[in-house]
Amino acid sequence: MNKNNLILIILLFSIFSTKAQIKDTTVKWILKQISDKTKQYTSVKIEFTYKYENEKNKISDVKEGDIVIHGNKYRMNVAGQLIINDGTTVWTYLKDAEEVTINKYKETKESITPQKIISDYNKDFKPKLIREYTEKGKTYMIIDLTPNISRSFYKVRIIVDKGLQQVRSSVFFEKEGNKFSYEVKKLIPNVEIDDNMFSFDPKDYPGVEINDMR
């Protein structure tokens, strides 16, 4: 899974939250309500936990981070990295190394963006309700999404808090045996945005080494 997909996958179902009451039992209807509500957000801040696992190779890695999203722009802090995307350029700043790498952002067929998953989930994914269960007095729904087109992953499993109508976590299963989990710790919609936060000014990082790959 390439870095751009890894970054953007964090957003996929993390931002699927809604206050609308769910009355229909069909998964497609539920996802549509969540999608419609999400489209109304002008911005969103998410605090998350990311976990990578490969049982065969006995590899496990856990990271904490946060991300602010505004349209097709985002600013993410995770594992000592600051990653900024203004929709055309991506800056990846490594804090310990004091260096920044600059790349053009280019969306590919394999790329996944919040906008794409929100608008095209019904076309690109086949949803299926696996089951409901209760834990500590809360009811959760397990929903599997299978891509209709070729992806590096073959399934996405989301767990929805039925009472809050909010996605609790999402897990991506790759064909090579890798598993990527994303758990939302906190979600704040419509946060105040400063456009300067979606650009990287070297003047703010004295001595930073610049690797311009554009």
Tens digit of each residue's pLDDT (9 = 90 or more) over 72-112? 788 989 888 999 999 899 999 999 999 999 999 876 554 55
Whole-number pLDDT of residue 107: 65
115 has pLDDT over 50: no
CATH classification at residue 193:
2.50.20.10
In a domain, 132, yes or no: yes
Q: Does pLDDT of 135 surpass 60?
A: yes
31-61 pLDDT tens trace: 776 667 677 788 888 888 888 898 888 889 9
Average pLDDT, the chain: 77
Q: How many domains does the chain have?
A: 1
8 A C-beta contact, residue 173 and residue 54: no
Q: Look at residue 83 and tell me if it is in a domain.
A: yes
Look at residue 184 and tell me if it is in a domain: yes
Is 80 a domain residue?
Answer: yes
Q: Which residue segment(s) compose the domain that 68 sits in?
A: 3-208
Quick count: other Cβ atoms within 10 Å of Cβ 167? 24
Tell me if 214 is assigned to some domain.
no
With CA atoms as reference, report the closest residue to 91 among 166, 80, 81.
81
Residue 194 placed within a domain: yes
What digits encode the pLDDT tens for the residues 164-182?
667 778 888 988 888 988 8
Lowest mean pLDDT among 66-75, 125-134, 160-169: 160-169
Residue 131 forms part of a structural domain: yes
CA dihedral 46, 180, 138, 127 (to 10 degrees): 100
Q: Are 173 and 157 in contact (CB under 8 A)?
A: yes
